[in-house]
A and B are shown apart, each in its own frame.
Chain A
Amino acid sequence: MMVRRQSLLARILVWHGLAMVVVAVLAAGSVAWLLDTTSTRLQHQTLNAYAVMIDEGLRPNGDGWRLDIENRMAVLGGGSSFSFGVSDGSKVSPIAGLPAPLAGIGSVASQQPRYFHRLVGSVQLSGVVWPSQKSPARWIVVVQNLDDPAVFFDDVNTGVAIVATLAIAALLTLLMAIDVVIVRRSLAPVARASQAMADLLPHDLTSRIATSGLPIEVLPLVEGANVAFERLATAYANERDFLADAAHALRTPLAVLQLRVDDVTDPAMRSAMAAQVVHLRRIVDGLLTLAEIDSTAPPAPALVDLSSLASDRAAEIAPLALSKGQTIIVDAAQPLAVYTLADNATKALDVLLENAVRHTPSGTSIVVATKPGQIIVSDSGPGVDLSDVERLFARFQRGTAGTEGSGLGLSVAERLMKQAGGTIAFENLPEAGSRFTLVFSDLSTQIEP
């Protein structure tokens, strides 16, 4: 299944943006409609007012018509965009001294004022054919040229539309920007909580995520996480206590047993028992070490010279090898420093050295060598049976033929190396013997500045 990651911010912006566009379209439409109807009404009122003035001042003038002086002044004061005529129902006659409408306009008449819009060429005309109040078969025709610079109704319309569009666009953008700020600010405590959660150390469960300043929508999530941490911390503490108790409970009787074994008078019996005590001790050590790796935080990486580590540990076990008739040769003259977990490196190397000394016969040579980032322990012993190689690092896997290991050493070493970010490799040597290699990775990046 594909997991889609969605940003809350993106989601809010998309939906809010859509909602705002819908609202803006509706608002713009309403404004446009309102403007249109208002301007139409005003236009009609203007046309009506001219028609009334002409109707009142209309006087016969020979065959044609003229306007009395008073109304003529008023009509001319309205500007040059108007033209006027008198219709008898079929033909429009001009009024003397006033601009006449274009031919063919205003000829159709009815008992109600008839408003019309017409496009002649590129000229927009708006007008009315108005039934005269004085004579039933007479209609006053008033036409306005809307493209005349003196006419401003349609200019207002266009201007308002442009300004409104720009204003709405600007407001939309501003709102989106405000959205971004609001969402970012609202989510900041969530981001902080996430960072706090990420910063929790695997073995330090004492710290909790601060809930102050968190929005109530997110609070339950963080509180839930804190409760879960609390339970984990308790479980860890229990395990650590158990570990300390188990160590004490196991090791003290072992100590008594070991001292008691010294009292056994029969030397054969004494050495047999002593061997079993050592065996038991190794198992207890192995189990406790495995448990420790799981339940305690490793210390910070330190600069370790692999060559001096190899020499020190080899020198430590050399007397035992010597007493078994084995030879230990150290080939680690050059300092080879690496940032790693010093204690893990020491314990893992000890496991390899002890195994080499323990599981190979008298006369074996054990070579401890170093390379950059590696410690290699090889021996000229019998090597590892092919059938055992796969299970070499499994717990409680002991080599064939009753060797007396705990069966835990290599799995402990492997876990220690893994915790230190390294590996442990094994191979049988072509001639005879086996070779274990500890490979360390550089942990200098984990050093706190």
Chain B
Amino acid sequence: MSILVLNKGLQTTVQDLGRTGYAHFGINRAGAMDPLALQVGNFLVGNPGGTVALEMCFPAPTLLFLAPALIALSGADFGAQIEGQNLPFHTPIWVDAGMELHFRYKQAGQYAYLSIQGGLDIPPWLNSRSTNLKAQWGGWQGRALLKGDVLPLAKSWPERIGRGLTIAKYHTLLREFYAPETPIRFVPGQHYPQLLPESRKALHAQAWRISNASDRMGYRLEGEGLTLSSNESLLSAGLTRGSIQLPPAGQPIVLMADHQTTGGYPLLGQVIQADWARLAQLGPGRSFYLQAVELAEAVSLYAEQGMFLRRLRAGCALGRLDRANTESKQRGIVFQIIFWVPARPFLGRGGQRPGARFPF
């Protein structure tokens, strides 16, 4: 009951929603770069939102399923294929033993997630299964996946279900959360008032390009440099993801999932949690605008995203998705789920039972 890694990809790591409660030991959170996509993928296969999944960059890995599994792809679209069939993302998919999942091109986004019903059977470390690359511990052997790794699945099915590849005829639309034209919003922080007037203008008025030197630790921004009225050296203090640091060179750095727990650069503010997913998926080479928002707005945007996730989870957990859809419509749910049409439920090999449901 496992997955064999045929090709490791650029950086494939095992991630959940991260490791909290240990920052005072210098142990950072890690966790998914795009926590929204991780949760969506998990809900689609009937998992709790924070179940451990594979986080993939492009070039993405090639994976051989040694057992049947119910999977979903979320986040970035890397042109996933099994047996010549294109796989949609944000859709539950039944994969049978012996099938090879590979990715062909980078269509959109930076981090893709492969959620598997039940997750991976790996031990937690400090209450999380996220890989801590700096500590070289947690997740899968504390490192990115390598060719030949055999990842045990937590949930086992009969050796062969005989359904072949089965793709649900519905998917979730998340466009509003990833709209590239929406600015990345932040709450101004401690040293924002020290920005010189022209720098404050520049912070908001210019498109910031994400440097190629960006990674899971931080996104380095390139643009017209910013200057503070004070260059007082600061004592290190605790940091959060999304913090916009301003090193002396004047090019901001936004801290991402693997950021250090403490630091001593001036802080212009923190990117709001509702925009973590969108920023993560922009990735190196892309540009965006920054927009300052009030704390209350940050909270309500996050609450909106939380409501979307709760509705999605409820819809997926009802087991009968078509019914869930009807009920969702009655409740006036704003997101759109195009549900599975039973007329042509299976797209894969023969031997399926028409009308069979996804085993939530």
Bind each other = no
Taking Cβ atoms with an 8 Å cutoff, the residues of B that contact A are none
